[in-house]
Chain A
Amino acid sequence: AQSVTQLDSQVPVFEEAPVELRCNYSSSVSVYLFWYVQYPNQGLQLLLKYLSGSTLVKGINGFEAEFNKSQTSFHLRKPSVHISDTAEYFCAVSASNNFNKFYFGSGTKLNVKP
């Protein structure tokens, strides 16, 4: 089975500062990796995904993530955050041979301050 660890439950940051949200995973098979964002009272929205190919993945809203197989990480980054980026962010993994089953991290609350 797969598992995901998001070490930071909350990340406070000032507007226009860079941010990195950490995600580490564990799996005995090859994986697909995802980052989702959840705004208050809304569903999960896909930010970006890594399926194969380039390890640097660019997503919506200026976010990007880098897949590092040796460190089993998939950290999410943004060079300059906005107030509107305040939300809960979830990292998820699925086995490449079982795309139906997603394993989620516990989430990181990004709080962007003015």
Chain B
Amino acid sequence: GAVVSQHPSWVICKSGTSVKIECRSLDFQATTMFWYRQFPKQSLMLMATSNEGSKATYEQGVEKDKFLINHASLTLSTLTVTSAHPEDSSFYICSARDRGEQFFGPGTRLTVL
């Protein structure tokens, strides 16, 4: 099946700094990618839909100025957590669709100190 990668796999940062997470479709082109967030022992929650060449669509309750999404090419979407705080610590997972099936990245664990 198709492969989606994420980088970094884990990151630790200080409160107030910004962190960028990359999501790449390795062997297919993805005009649409999706960003999820997962708290410990909780569901994956869809944060936003990333559209190549246009603005992302955010789910209700997700701050678009806090979580900046850029989908500059057909194989890369980035999520930037701006001015991160400890409550932003979470597991972030991206996915992309290829021929009707969703493929998920391995996730990025963000810890904000």
Q: Binary interface profile of B, 1-39, with partner A (CB < 8 Å = 1, else 0)?
A: 100100001000000000000000000000010101000
Interface of B is mostly: strand
Is the pair A106, B42 in contact by a Cβ cutoff of 8 Å?
yes
Chain B interface residue number, banded: 20 to 34
B26 → chain A closest CB, angstroms: 11
For the complex, give the distance between the alpha carbons of A42 and B34 in Å: 17
Interface segment, one of A12-20, A61-69, A71-79, A97-105:
A97-105
Task: For the complex, count residues of A whose C-beta is within 8 A of B.
Answer: 19
Is the pair A43, B43 in contact by a Cβ cutoff of 8 Å?
no
**What 7 pairs across the A-B complex have the smallest Cβ distances?**
A44-B104, A104-B44, A43-B106, A43-B104, A104-B43, A106-B43, A43-B105
Q: Which residues of A contact B (CB under 8 A)?
A: 4, 9, 36, 41-46, 90, 99-107
